[in-house]
Amino acid sequence: MSPTFSVVIPTYNRASHLPAAIDSVLAQSRVDWELIIVDDGSRDNTKELVRPFTNDPRIRYHYQENRELNGARNTGVRLARGTYCCFLDDDDNYEAGHLEALTQAITATGGKHGIYRTNMRITGGGIDLISLPFENDRDALVQLWQTPRNLLPLAIRRDLLVRQPFNEDDLLIDDFIWLNTALIHTTLFQADATTTNYIQHKTNRTKLYHSIDLLPKIVARLEQAYKIPGIENRVDKSLLHLRIQHQHMHLARQIGRRGGRLKALKVWYEGVRRGGIQPVRNVLKTLAVLIIR
- Model pLDDT for residues 46-103, shown as the tens digit of each residue: 999 999 999 999 999 999 999 999 999 999 999 999 999 999 999 999 999 999 999 9
**What pLDDT is stored for residue 208 in this prediction?**
52
**Does the CA dihedral 220-221-223-228 come out positive or negative?**
positive
Per-residue pLDDT at 206: 59
| Contact (Cβ atoms closer than 8 angstroms) between residue 229 and residue 188 | no
Contact 59, 51 (CB under 8 A): no
> Residue 289 — very low, low, confident or very high, per pLDDT cuts 50/70/90?
confident
Percent of the chain with pLDDT over 70: 96
What whole-number distance in Å separates Cα of residue 18 and Cα of residue 125?
20
Those residues with Cβ within 8 angstroms of residue 96's Cβ, 6 or more apart along the chain or in another chain: 24, 27, 28, 29
CB 180 within 8 A of CB 74: no
Q: Give whole-number Cα distances, 91 to 57, 187, 281, in Å.
A: 23, 28, 30
Average pLDDT estimate for 20-27: 98
All structural domains of the chain: 5-205 (3.90.550.10), 210-292 (no CATH)
Q: What is the pLDDT of residues 179-229, one digit of tens each?
A: 999 999 999 999 999 999 999 876 655 555 567 888 999 999 999 999 999
Residue 287's pLDDT is 75
The percentage of residues in the chain with a pLDDT greater than 90, rounded to a whole number, is 75
| pLDDT confidence band for 293 (50 / 70 / 90) | low
> How much is the CA Rg of the chain, to the nearest whole Å?
19
Q: For position 172, what pLDDT does the model report?
A: 75
pLDDT, mean of residues 234-249: 94
**Beta-sheet strands, E only, within the chain:** 5-11, 33-39, 59-63, 84-87, 93-94, 115-124, 127-130, 154-157, 188-199
For residue 271, what pLDDT band results from cuts at 50, 70 and 90? Answer: confident
DSSP state of 168: T
Q: Which residues contact 105 (CB under 8 A, 6 or more apart)?
A: 116, 118, 189, 191
Q: Residue 41: is its pLDDT beyond 90? A: yes
Q: What share of the chain is helix, strand, coil (3-state, %, to 5)?
A: 45, 20, 35
Question: Of 91-95, 122-126, 268-272, where does the model show the most confidence?
Answer: 91-95
Mean residue pLDDT of the chain comes to 92
The whole-number average pLDDT for the span 109-128 is 94
- Dihedral of the CA atoms 264, 270, 276, 281 (nearest 10)? 0
